[in-house]
Every structure is written in C-alpha cells, then in structure tokens.
Amino acid sequence: MCGIIGINSNKSVSASIINSLKKLEYRGYDSAGIATLHAGSINEVKSEGRVDNLEKNSVVQNMVGTIGIGHVRWATHGLPNSINAHPHSSQNVSVVHNGIIENSTLLKKFLVSKGHKFKSQTDTEVIVHLITENLKTENIINSITKTLKSLHGSFALGIIFKDQPDLIIGARRGSPLAVGYGPNENYLGSDSYALKSMTNKITYLSDGEFCVIKKDHVEFFNEDGIKINKKVLELSSEEEKYDKGDYKHFMAKEIEEQPTTLKNGIKEYLDTSNNDINIFNFPWKINEISTITLIGCGTAYHSCLMAKYWFEELTTLNVNVDIASEFRYRKNRFKKDTLYVFVSQSGETADTYAALSLCKSKEMKTCSVVNVIESSIARDSEFVLPIHCGIEIGVASTKAFLGQILILYLLALKLGFLRKDLKRELFNKKLKDLKELPDLVQQTLSIDNKIQTISKTFNDAKGSMFLGRGFSYPIALEGALKLKELSYIHAEGYPAGEMKHGPLALIEEGMPVVVLAPRDDYYKKTISNMQEVIARGAKVLLITNKSKDEIISENIWETIEVETTGADLLPFLLTVPLQKLAYYSALKKGYDIDKPRNLAKSVTVE
C-alpha cells in the first residue's frame, strides 16, 4: 500500500529517499515518485512500476536538493500510471498522500471554480490546490489547519513548499505516520521500518495531529494548530534483517521459518518450569470477562475464526468473530463484560484500527494480537500480545498466521485454565503437546515434491474448492485465500457439511477439491462429504494426518498425510501443505509471488 518518506537535511536527500522507498516496497504498490526542493523550485519525477524505474531515471540520478519527499502509490483514485503517481505539485506546494479523501469531488468543483487546473485523476491533487488556495490569505500553520479541517476521509501527508527551504509538514488522520530524528536532519515516514535504517528515535503522530520538520528540530500541533509536546521513543536499534537468503521468494523463506515462529512464541509465553502460560500484566480480572469478540481482516480474520473453535472447546466463554470492515459499521451491542481482541500482522490495517477505535470510544476492554509492536493497533490497545514472528515481507501472510493462531490458542488455554473450565491434567497435556509442535511443523514442511506435481492440476482447472469441518473449516478458508491471492485461480473455502445446500452444483468432472479430514471428531462426517464430491467427478486431494488406521474411502485422487498430534493442534499442520500448494501453483505460472497483483501488504485504506 502507499508509503511516505520525507527528509530534511543539510546534504542531498534523493539517494536516501530512494533507499527508504525501497524499504517500503514490501507493502505492495504500482508507481513511485520523488520531489526535492532546490534553489527555490520544486523538482518532481514520477514513474510507473517499481522504485527501480524511478532510480534509473537520469533526472533522479542527478537530482539535487537537501529537502524532499518520496512516495510509493497503491492506486485508489485513477489508473496506476505516472501522471497519477505522487507527489502532486502546484507551483508552490508538493504533496504525497496515503489514504482516501472522500469529499474530493466537491472540493475539486470548488477549486476549479477558483481557477485551479488539475492534471491527475487522483483525490490527492485537491489537497495541493487547497493548500495553495489557503496560502493566498493564511500563513503556513493556518493554511494547513484550515486545509486539514476541510478534508473528509483518511490521510497521512508529507508536504514541501517552494518558498520554505527548511520545512516539511507531516499530518495524520487515520493513516499511520511517524517522525524520525537524526544528526542535523529529521525524517518523516509512514512506516517505522523505513525510518529504522536512518534512526531509532521516533515520534508517532496521533490522529488529527500535524508536525513541522526542520533540520534541527520538530514541532507538533493539534488539529486546531495549537503547539503540543510529544514523546520521543527509542526503538531497538537492531535493524531486522530481511533478505531472502538462499530462497527465491520471501514467501518460501517465511513458510520455512514457521517452526522458529512457533518456537519463539512458545519460548516467550510458556513457563516450562511451572507448567504455565505467562500472560504478564493481563489488566482484567478473570471474572470480568464472559464474552470474547475477535476481529480482523483476511488471514487475520481466519485466525479469529480458528480461535473461536478453540475458545469454545477450551473455555465456557461466549465467542463472537467479526470481519473488521463489517463490525465498524454495524449496530453493535457493546458490553462491559466483553474482551475485544484485534488480530493484525501489520497492526495498521485501516478497518481493524477503526474497529479498535470504535471499541475504545465505547470504553470497552481492548487487546491486540499483532506482529509489529510499534504499530497503531498495538499502541492504541489496552493490552498487547505480540506474535514475535519477525518481519513478514510476502504479501501472502504465512508465518504470521501460525504466529497469530499460536497466541490465540495460548490465550484460550490460559483463560480456560484460570476459569477452571480446563482441569490441570488436561492443561498439562496440552502444554506438553505444544512443545512438540515446532518439530512436527518442521517435518510437515518436507512435502515439496508431491505438492509441486499436484499444483499443476490446480493451474489447469477453472476453479477449485477447499472443504473442512470444525477445526479444519477456518483452515479451508485460509487455503482458498492463499491460492486465489497468489495464483489468481478461483478458489472457494466452504464448510464441508454445507456443500449440498448449493455449492455442490459447481462440482464437475475433474474439478480439483481439497478436503481437510484429519482424524478428529469430524473425520467420518467429512469423509462422507468427500464421497459426495467424488461421486460428482471431483478430483479430491485429501489432507489428513498419519494414522495406523486406513483411510476409509476410495477413488481419492491424491492424499497428503501430515504428522500427528492432538486434534486441536492439527490445524497448524494442515496449513502447511495449503501454503505450499499456493506457492508452487504461482511459481509454475510465473507470477510475482511476493507482490501479487492488486494487493498490498499493509491495507491502510478502508
């Protein structure tokens, strides 16, 4: 998704801006641009496609200027071409923008009536002209305050001015933005990863705030233009490494890292000497909570759904699961005895963040399960459970999914135990099984050859289905999501028991169908559903776990057997072949695995 960088320095900034934009590439984008200020004029260069294209541009290579802004754009308004790429500039002002301006059509009408000429199809360009218009009568601070008040929607902005050789403005509403502090230079960035290569001293802007970045100091303002003080945070100075190593793609590396993700999570939360789960500083009394509501988007939503099955199995709590974009606009009944849990790898997903803000405005109990601990969702929730899986670059979430479901499983176990829903003996047994899980995932990873062959059939098909019941149903949804986002093959995840209520009509001769049927309480029922699709011509890939008992069905096209463990941990193992299926299918098609078309890593617009 869109990313912003701004640097105000006493040396040339273009190379540093380009390098920082490269750090934002993992977010997914379709064009890039840079503007610097030199000798009283704004120089702007933009290009379609990757930051590499921008870097190769001879104007960029010779670009001078000690103050500048850069952007990677993920198109919302207007085609992904160089005209619509950011920055957008008037004669006086240049702007980069993340987010969506919802009243841009109305504002544009007003500005056109005042004689402003527009070059692009974007909503962002209205900001440029609005500031230019306001500058006719106001000073910088007042023109920014006035402009921001006229905008509806969400934004993170970086702004430079032709007549201001020592000033970048940053402003935030809804989309994340941070300021970084360096020696004789200061920075603006939409993502602390990008800033971390330059500094570990950061200030995050809160909604409604804006800042004035000079070379030697930074000032902060509230939405009324009144000066405020903000804290400087020191992040860990170790820059996380995220090279691909010997892997072809980040996704392949991240799949293989999953045993480590689980080991880290277990090490962090399991107290092996006392057979306990450490959830330090849990801020609520256990009898204050009788309902859990889990909220997320995409893969994180599937983690929530997975957790519902575990919470219901291991506790007597009531459990609700919601898609953040639905939750935030529904007429919810907010209850004091509910713990609202927000699940997000990035911690910046706009809908999840808005759902959290809504719960906070109602003074609800909020907890987040996130990977990026400096993120907006982590910072704004009352209690945070980090997943400790390290940076995830591939747009398709893999290790973060296993990390999220591990933490949610631990939370369910701990609450079940504290509530006395789960007896000590069973609790101990489950902790023992957990310790073995990373090794079992490691063994399950060695299924590449078989999956590679199988993936060909999926690539040749018009569409596919993923079926599961109980614990396996959320995993079926996740498997289908992975296949569609990476290999652009239509894939539908469905509860196996629902097939005959409609989707069975889709099954035709040769259609590949993945059936998740581990040897759990649902096994026989799922096998019956599998027979119904086989009878109608489906080519079934059965994924089950190893067992001494033979598989009770015939005419199965292919079978994959994952390792064996307790029924509630099998979802971890079932996930692995589905991730690999999506990976190999996209690899065979030659698609951009780490940056699938139209998608972004961090979805900061609603």
Residue among 2, 297, 304, 389 flagged as catalytic = 2
304 is catalytic: no
Structure-token match 């790429």, residue found: 85
Nearer to ligand M6R, 395 or 402 (CB): 395
402 Cβ contact list (under 8 Å, min separation 6): 258, 261, 262, 389, 441, 572, 575
Least distance in Å: CB of 533 to ligand M6R? Answer: 26
Give DSSP secondary structure letters for 1-17: --EEEEEE-SS--HHHH
**Binder among 396, 556, 573, 586 for ligand M6R (CB under 6 A):** 396
Structure-token match 């500083």, residue found: 281
**Binder among 338, 346, 366, 579 for ligand M6R (CB under 6 A):** 346
Query: What tokens does 245 get?
Result: 């190593």
User: Is position 344 an interface residue for ligand M6R (rule: CB under 6 A)?
Assistant: yes
- 495 secondary structure, DSSP code: E
* Residues 289-318 contacting ligand M6R, CB under 6 A: 297-300
**Binder among 576, 603, 604, 606 for ligand M6R (CB under 6 A):** 603
User: Is position 261 an interface residue for ligand M6R (rule: CB under 6 A)?
Assistant: no
Nearer to ligand M6R, 520 or 606 (CB): 606
Q: Which string of x and - marks every residue 548-577 that binds ligand M6R (by CB under 6 A)?
A: ------------------------------
**Binder among 345, 444, 487, 526 for ligand M6R (CB under 6 A):** 345
Please work out the total of residues on this chain that contact ligand M6R, with binding judged by CB under 6 A. Answer: 17
Q: With 0-12 CB in 10 A as exposed, 13-18 as middle and 19+ as buried, what is 137? A: exposed
414 alpha carbon, distance to own chain's centre: 26
211 is catalytic: no
- 330 secondary structure, DSSP code: S
Give DSSP secondary structure letters for 527-543: HHHHHHHHHTT-EEEEE
Query: What tokens does 182 get?
Result: 């360096």
Query: Among all residues, whose Cβ is closest to ligand M6R?
Result: 298
User: Is position 533 an interface residue for ligand M6R (rule: CB under 6 A)?
Assistant: no
Length of the chain counted residue by residue: 606
User: Is position 395 an interface residue for ligand M6R (rule: CB under 6 A)?
Assistant: yes
Q: Which of 262, 170, 183, 263 is nearest to 219 (CA)?
A: 170
User: Is position 392 an interface residue for ligand M6R (rule: CB under 6 A)?
Assistant: no
Nearer to ligand M6R, 147 or 299 (CB): 299
- 102 secondary structure, DSSP code: T
**Binder among 20, 89, 90, 349 for ligand M6R (CB under 6 A):** 349
Query: What tokens does 549 get?
Result: 């008992």
Q: Where are the alpha helices (DSSP H) in 470-557?
A: 472-487, 523-535
Q: Is the separation of the CB atoms in 43 and 59 below 8 Å?
A: yes
Nearer to ligand M6R, 348 or 520 (CB): 348
Contact stretch for ligand M6R (CB under 6 A) within 233-241, 285-293, 579-587, 596-604: 596-604
Neighbours of 207 (CB within 10 A): 16
* Residues 443-502 contacting ligand M6R, CB under 6 A: 481, 485
Least distance in Å: CB of 481 to ligand M6R? Answer: 6
Nearer to ligand M6R, 346 or 455 (CB): 346
Residue among 215, 365, 539, 601 flagged as catalytic = 601
Q: Is the separation of the CB atoms in 141 and 592 below 8 Å?
A: no
491 alpha carbon, distance to own chain's centre: 21
User: Is position 368 an interface residue for ligand M6R (rule: CB under 6 A)?
Assistant: no
Least distance in Å: CB of 34 to ligand M6R? Answer: 27
Neighbours of 359 (CB within 10 A): 23
Phi (first) and psi of residue 291, to 5 degrees: -135, 145
Q: Which of 13, 105, 140 is nearest to 68 (CA)?
A: 13
**Binder among 122, 352, 444, 585 for ligand M6R (CB under 6 A):** 352
| 491, amino acid identity | A
Query: What tokens does 592 get?
Result: 């951009």
Contact stretch for ligand M6R (CB under 6 A) within 6-14, 245-253, 342-350, 431-439: 342-350
User: Is position 397 an interface residue for ligand M6R (rule: CB under 6 A)?
Assistant: yes
Least distance in Å: CB of 396 to ligand M6R? Answer: 4
Least distance in Å: CB of 349 to ligand M6R? Answer: 3
Nearer to ligand M6R, 107 or 483 (CB): 483
Distance CA 55, CA 22 (A): 10
What is the contact surface with ligand M6R in residues (CB under 6 A)?
297-300, 344-346, 349, 352, 395-397, 481, 485, 599, 602-603
Q: Which residues are catalytic?
A: 2, 601
